[in-house]
Amino acid sequence: MKKVLVTGGAGFIGSAVCRYLVLEKQVQVLNVDKLTYAGNLASLDEIKDNPLYQFAQVDICDGDAISALLDDFQPDAVMHLAAESHVDRSIDGPSEFIQTNIVGTYTMLECALAYWRTLQKSEDGRQRSEDGGQRTGTGLISDLGSPTSGNHRPLSSEFRFHHISTDEVYGSLGDEGLFEETTPYDPRSPYSASKASSDHLVMAWYHTYGLPVLITNCSNNYGPYHFPEKLIPLVILNALDEKELPIYGKGDNIRDWLHVEDHACALVTVVETGRLGETYNVGGRNERTNLEVVETICEVLDELKPRAVGRYKDLITFVEDRPGHDQRYAIDATKLETELGWKAQEDFDSGIRKTVQWYLDNDWWWGPLRALRYAGERLGRA
C-alpha cells in the first residue's frame, strides 16, 4: 500500500493505526475525523509534521465531502474506524450511535463503491490514468501531490475497504468457549447493535456489489491515548486524583484485553494480506475480570507512585451494575494467527505497566480532557 484513508483517525485506536502506518510502514495517510468529544489531534503530535500525514475534519455522514476526499487522495485502502464506541453513552443517547455507526458506514460504503468503480482494471488503464490531467482538489486537504506517491492511482483489484468492528456484536459468553468468526450475532446494547448493523451492511456490499471488503472484530483495547471515560484510564486517573475507583456489580465481568499497538499491527496485516469477504477476530488472549484489572492497576501504582497513606486498593468501590452488562468476552484469534501470521506481542502484565507509566508521564495529554471534556462522572444509568 502507498496511500490509506483512515476514518476516525483522531480516536484511540484510529490514532494508533495512523501512527503505525506512517512510522512503521511509511504509508501516506489521510486521517478523516469529525473531531467529536473523543477525537483528539494531540494523539497525533508524533506525526503531525510528517509529510506522509494529512488531516481532514469531515463527518463520515457527509457523502459529498467523503467522495471528494476519495477522488482527490486516491487511496489503495479505506480503514473505517470512525464510530461512537462507548456502551454507557449509547444507553444515555442511542441516536448518535445509529447515525454514526449505521448511517455513517452506509455512506462510506456508497462512496467507496463509487470510487472503486472509477478505478482501472489493468496496468495499461492505470498508466493512461497516471498520464492524465491534473485534479483540481476540494480544498478540504492540502499537499495531495506528495513526492512519496507521485500520481499514484490503484487498480480496482488492489483496493480494499476494511471495516473495524468489535467483539461485542457476539453478545455474552458463558464460563466456557470463545468468540469465533462464525459465532452468531447477539448484541445486547445500543452500541453493539449499531456495530452489528454496520457489519451486516459491509458484508452485503461485498455480496451484492462486489466491493472488496474485510471485517475485523476486536476485543477490549487498552494503552496510551485512551479517552478517560474507559475503565483503565478512568481507574488510573481517579487513583491519581485520590477519587473512588468504581467497579460495576461484583467486578466479575470478564474481558479479553488487547494492547492498542498490537491491534494496529493486526489491522494493517489484515488489510494487506487478508482474504476478501472474510472476517478476522483480533484478541490478546488476556482474559481478566474487571476486579482483577483494577487491582493490577492499583498494584502497579503502589510501586510507581505510592500514596501518602494507604494503598490504592482502598479506593475501590462497587457501584450499581450497568444495564445489559455482558458477562464475558473472549476472542479466538486462531484464524488471524494461522492464516496471516499475526500474534499479540504484549501480555497484560507488561502492557498494563507500560500503560500506567504512560499516564504518569503524559498529563499534558489527559489533563485538558479531564478538565474540559470528561471529569469521571457516571454515565449509562438508563
Put the strands of the sheet holding 28-33 in their side by side order.
53-57, 28-33, 3-7, 77-80, 160-166, 213-218, 279-282
| Strands 279-282, 77-80: pairing kind | unpaired
**Which helix H or strand E contains 53, and what residues bound it?**
strand 53-57
Query: From CA 287, how far away is CA 201, in angstroms rounded?
Result: 30
Query: From CA 32, how far away is CA 164, in angstroms rounded?
Result: 15
Is 191 considered catalytic here? Answer: yes
Is 186 considered catalytic here? Answer: no
The single residue of 167, 199, 256, 346 carrying the catalytic annotation is 167
Is 337 considered catalytic here? Answer: no
φ/ψ of 173, rounded to 5, equals -90, 155
On the CB side of 32, how many CA atoms lie within 13 Å of its CA? 28
**Would you state the cell numbers that stand for residue 315, as one nine-digit string?**
479506593
- The angle at the Cα of 373, spanning 370 to 376, to the nearest 5 degrees, equals 50
- How many beta carbons lie within 10 A of that of residue 295, not counting itself? 19
Query: From CA 153, how far away is CA 129, in angstroms rounded?
Result: 8
Helix axis angle, 231-240 relative to 363-372, nearest 10°? 90
The single residue of 20, 53, 115, 191 carrying the catalytic annotation is 191
What single string gives the DSSP state of each residue in 95-118? HHHIIIIIIHHHHHHHHHHHHHHH
The single residue of 59, 168, 262, 326 carrying the catalytic annotation is 168
Q: What is the CA radius of gyration of the chain?
A: 21
- Residues classed as catalytic: 167-168, 191
